[in-house]
Structure 1
């Protein structure tokens, strides 16, 4: 357990195991602890780095918005700080959005990428979810006191009283429009798109993203010559939602099967 002064933030991180490094990036209002149940699977052959992103977990907030591109720069600076050479990156939800932006902006720093449950444009989300996201702000803190997210924050955050501020920043971030279509089309890091079959976006969105990566456009062929030239892959995990996909016993082995490909 340690802190790194990188990109203007005192970033908390943990290191577990040894081997090829893999960075696991948690979802919104969570922390690296989200990956605790699957750590044994990842540390069997990998060194796992678990950062807590800005304002989450044990990383105190700073005077800047919650910005996925800025948090991607935090992770890029952590990679340099630790002297890592092309670590793999696995992200979930908010963390997957950060991971995608890291791979887009600094592909030379990433080995392989697993993007879990992250839509590539805001308009892909179901309309009712966009309405719910518009209600996320500091005033909701009182109603979240019985949730696991609030319990975690109160237990580990350097300033537990900052929870309403985090909700304000997350809410503001979710209102920002974005569309990564062209960036995904040109992605140079081998990427696996992973989604729940009942996620925050239609299941068809995952196949759309895969198509941008040249996937699913032709028969793969007996010799696999029809697979995406960039080594990309797609996995839709059955019987899951956005809220329990990390609980699936399939998530870790699916991710690891991709990370360990030649």
Structure 2
């Protein structure tokens, strides 16, 4: 019809079909397994559930998992930003090789990473043997767990920050320098606000990965109850004892706490993005 607006045709199917497939796929892969955790935990009475998730050993495993994952996420946020900055802003021999090495933790089996880190940081390892006379213990301690989580979480920060750095307009930085701003002030006032949402996202991804990490941690942690035992290992222990309800109870608490922490991080990221758009 003359004067009518042309109909917007998409390559993919219509909204209804796409939304239906999306909900079906998410339900099958994500929602149904999570709901199964709730139903399996419901087999326990409230006193049994509470005594299971608040026992001293379980609380200690929660503390180890969340504290080490949080510390590893913070370290990765700092050094991941530096690595992304070097890869984007500088040219040097072997740059493509370094860029490929960043993705190595993605491809490397986590058990291989755990064995390699344990061999290096154990008291008889290359680095551990040098630190042992100084009284510094890496393997079989929370420090070793943190190092393993840094190893597997670094790519999340680098690959999240890298595209944002590539899209930054360097003319703005040059203008700030020409107006008399020092390098640190230029970074803090011009560059960092643009990178903060990506940094928060990278931190959240590394933190979430670290909470549930098992393969790379189980070797270097030493698995000492009340000291270096992580929550995923305790869940596996209960499964091996055929205590499925107890295992899902611990998993449920981890799920809820992780969801709440990620929700807070996403809200902070949304507020920062909104403030950046307003400015």
Q: Give the TM bin, normalised by the shorter chain.
A: under 0.3
Structure of larger gyration radius: 2
Higher relative contact order (CA 8 A, sep 6+): 2
The structure richer in strand per residue is 1
TM-score (structure 1 length as normaliser):
0.24
